[in-house]
């Protein structure tokens, strides 16, 4: 496992193997091997873009849904969490501490899509006792990337 | 009509604005420029430092501090310098908080210089030492450090520059623009030359935290018998990404500091109070932030150095600061020609090496205070530029 490579990829998944090699100070071949090994080990799970969908026409709608779940003997929350994870509409599923048990992020094209998914799919799952849906109105930061607009960092082009 | 040139000080009129200014103005106003040109970090000041500044304002801590600086901050500085560089200073009388490292350099030179005194300045180096020396009535004595010595100052070069009039040596390491550092053996050799003299070392260590060698930065003040003849200068701009806060410090023997303080007291009163409160927080809690930034710089450093070498522009490994200083001699152009053409044809802004002294001719300074992808893009454009040059020649 090579944490330096992971940090570089986390920051920019499109960074070339040659550049990663230069930045880390190892050969390109070693980078390829390390990445393959980390993929095989399930450490690197994918390479996705950070997209500000609000800037795209026909933008989508997302909601955060807090679920209360009755844990099952011997399985805890696993079964329900894994079941929910299999829906394509679901972007993220996390087990939480505090008032709710699972937090689910659902994405759809319209408010109605999301509402009906919650009502018809999530709410009726065996073991789910309540849902609380909060629609996301605007995103300001996603995956560590600020979406507010490209701001000038205040530095000039040249200084000594 | 007043002829202001007749009124103004001859000393200041004799300090000509750098010819490179024009190039800078063009670069700074041109649209779509991708720059490797600045000498300041891209990272934001760590959050908790900004918060500490805001908190101090909310509490209305907005008065003058002691001329020397907040006692709390001076104690933190003394602790920090002791912890990091193994030099002990007494917070009450051996630490002065200044408006950036620049002011510390200025007041130190002024406190030491009688008319005609010589100040030795190794170059290529940051541009302020020479004019500050002249403004103090001193005579700059330039040492042109050599690429073959990795732009380190050697004992031989120093010995050759010393005269009975030598008052002080500026020691600007880690070095802007060359990225050179002075390792222990290098400093021992310099100390050997100075030990039996009254020459004071003005050690500008503003890039101390940005060192990428096996050993961390070593201050010349930590070398035997050197503390009594050294003014150690550092600040918050580079390591803590706090350029705009304008905060630095000078540490040195009490009798020297007392006189340096007089100039500071009359010219400045005290360093900005808000910044001083913020700096206390920086020294107390930002070690991990500094280390994280250093690691990021290190990755960029490797990328840019390999990039230049792959493009055929020979680039030594810079061991400190955040600049690469590749040679462009293979192109047959002067540094300024290279930078101008590069700016006009590919809109990449870098700094001609001769901006830092004649000995910088044949080199260019590329800052790596930029994201990895920004550096990649700039290198790509420089590669295209070099390819076009080659095509022109054939």
Per-residue pLDDT tens over the stretch B212-241:
999 999 999 999 999 999 999 999 999 999
Note the CATH number of domain B47-285. 3.40.640.10
Task: Average the pLDDT over A93-97 and give the result.
Answer: 97
CB contact under 8 A, A160 and B307: no
Query: What is the per-residue pLDDT across A8-27, written as a single tens digit (0 to 9) for each?
Result: 999 999 999 999 999 999 99
> Hey, are the CB atoms on A153 and B42 less than 8 Å from each other?
yes
Chain A interface disruption, residue of B303, B339, B377, most A CBs within 10 A? B303
Q: From the centroid of its chain, how far is CA B376?
A: 25
Q: Does domain B4-45+288-393 have CATH number 3.90.1150.10?
A: yes
Question: Could you state, in order of their start, the residue ranges of all structural domains in chain B?
Answer: 4-45+288-393, 47-285
What ranges do the domains of chain A cover?
Answer: 3-40, 53-139
Residue identified by tokens 């930029």 is: B370
Q: B66-88 pLDDT, tens per residue?
A: 999 999 999 999 999 999 999 99
Q: Which residue of B has its CA nearest to A159?
A: B38
Q: How far apart are CA B335 and CA B347, in angstroms?
A: 16
A153 interaction partners in chain B (CB closer than 8 Å): 42
A24–B302 CB contact, under 8 Å: yes
Cβ contact, residue pair A158, B303, below 8 Å: no
Helix then strand then coil, % of chain B, to nearest 5: 50, 15, 40
Torsion of CA B52, B55, B59, B64, to 10 degrees: 40
The predicted pLDDT at position B22 comes to: 83
What are B118's strand-pairing partners? B139, B166
CA distance B81 to B207: 14
List per-residue pLDDT tens for chain B, 394 residues long. Answer: 999 999 999 999 999 877 678 888 889 899 999 999 999 999 999 999 999 999 999 999 999 999 999 999 999 999 999 999 999 999 999 999 999 999 999 999 999 999 999 999 999 999 999 999 999 999 999 999 999 999 999 999 999 999 999 999 999 999 999 999 999 999 999 999 999 999 999 999 999 999 999 999 999 999 999 999 999 999 999 999 999 999 999 999 999 999 999 999 999 999 999 999 999 999 999 999 999 999 999 999 999 999 999 999 999 999 999 999 999 999 999 999 999 999 999 999 999 999 999 999 999 999 999 999 999 999 999 999 999 999 988 7
How confident is the prediction for chain A on average, in pLDDT? 92
Q: How far is the C-alpha of B386 from the C-alpha of B367, rounded, in Å?
A: 19
Kindly state the helix (H) or strand (E) to which residue B364 belongs, with its residue range: strand B364-367
Question: Under an 8 A CB cutoff, do B35 and A4 touch?
Answer: no
pLDDT at B222: 98
**Which residue from B249, B323, B239, B279 is spatially nearest to B43, judged by alpha carbons?**
B239
Contacts of A157 in chain B (CB under 8 A): 27-28, 30, 33, 35, 37-38, 349
- ipTM reported for the complex surpasses 0.85: no
What dihedral angle (degrees, nearest 10) is formed by the CA atoms of A10, A13, A19, A23? 0
Q: Which CATH architecture has domain A53-139?
A: 2-Layer Sandwich (3.30)
Nearest residue of chain B to residue A7 (CA atoms): B296
Question: How close A54 gets to chain B, by Cα (Å)?
Answer: 24
Cβ <8 Å between A158 and B37:
yes
Please state the pTM of the whole predicted model: 0.91
CA A3 to chain centre: 20
């Amino acid at each position: 496992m090579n944490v330096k490579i992971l940090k570089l990829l986390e920051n920019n998944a499109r960074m070339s193997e040659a550049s990663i090699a230069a930045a880390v100070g190892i050969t390109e071949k070693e980078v390829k091997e390390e990445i393959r090994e980390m993929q095989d080990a399930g450490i690197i799970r994918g390479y996705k873009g950070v997209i500000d969908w609000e800037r795209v026409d026909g933008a989508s709608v997302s909601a955060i849904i807090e679920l209360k779940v009755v844990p099952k003997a011997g399985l805890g929350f696993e079964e329900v969490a894994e079941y929910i994870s299999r829906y394509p509409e679901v972007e993220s599923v996390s087990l939480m501490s505090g008032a709710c048990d699972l937090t689910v992020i659902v994405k759809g094209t319209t408010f109605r899509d999301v509402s009906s998914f919650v009502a018809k799919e999530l709410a009726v799952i065996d073991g789910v006792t309540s849902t609380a849906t909060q629609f996301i109105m605007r995103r300001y930061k996603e995956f560590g990337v600020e979406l507010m607009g490209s701001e000038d960092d205040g530095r000039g082009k040249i200084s000594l | 009509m007043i002829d202001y040139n007749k009124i103004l000080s001859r000393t200041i009129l004799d300090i000509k604005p750098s010819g490179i200014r024009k190039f800078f103005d063009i670069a700074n106003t041109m649209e779509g420029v991708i720059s490797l040109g600045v000498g300041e970090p891209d990272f934001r000041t760590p959050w908790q430092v900004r918060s500490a500044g805001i908190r101090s304002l909310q509490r209305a801590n907005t008065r003058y501090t002691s001329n020397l600086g907040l006692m709390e901050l001076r104690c933190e500085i003394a602790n920090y310098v002791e912890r990091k560089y193994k030099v002990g200073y007494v917070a009450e009388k051996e630490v002065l908080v200044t408006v950036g490292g620049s002011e510390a350099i200025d007041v130190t030179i002024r406190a030491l210089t009688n008319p005609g005194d010589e100040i030795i300045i190794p170059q290529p180096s940051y541009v302020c030492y020479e004019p500050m020396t002249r403004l103090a009535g001193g005579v700059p004595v330039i040492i042109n450090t050599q690429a073959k010595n990795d732009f380190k100052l050697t004992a031989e070069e120093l010995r050759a520059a010393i005269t009975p009039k030598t008052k002080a040596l500026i020691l600007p390491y880690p070095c802007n623009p060359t990225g050179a550092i002075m390792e222990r053996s290098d400093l021992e050799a310099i100390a050997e030359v100075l030990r039996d003299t009254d020459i004071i070392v003005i050690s500008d260590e503003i890039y101390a935290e940005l060192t990428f060698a096996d050993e961390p930065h070593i201050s010349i003040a930590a070398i035997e018998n050197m503390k009594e003849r050294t003014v150690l200068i550092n600040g918050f701009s580079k390591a803590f990404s706090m350029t705009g806060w304008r905060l630095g410090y000078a540490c040195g023997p009490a009798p020297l500091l007392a006189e340096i303080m007089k100039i500071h007291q009359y010219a400045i009163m005290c360093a900005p109070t808000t910044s001083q409160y913020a700096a206390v927080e920086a020294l107390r809690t930002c070690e991990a932030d500094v280390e994280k930034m250093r690691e990021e710089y290190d990755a960029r450093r490797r990328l840019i150095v390999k990039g230049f070498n792959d493009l055929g522009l020979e680039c030594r490994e810079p061991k400190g600061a955040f600049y690469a200083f590749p040679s462009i001699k293979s192109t047959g152009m002067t540094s300024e020609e290279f930078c101008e053409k590069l700016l006009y044809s590919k809109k990449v802004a870098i700094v001609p090496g001769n901006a830092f002294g004649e000995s910088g001719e044949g080199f260019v300074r590329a800052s790596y205070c930029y994201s990895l992808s920004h550096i990649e893009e700039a290198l790509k454009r420089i590669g295209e530029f070099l390819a076009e040059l080659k095509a022109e020649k054939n």
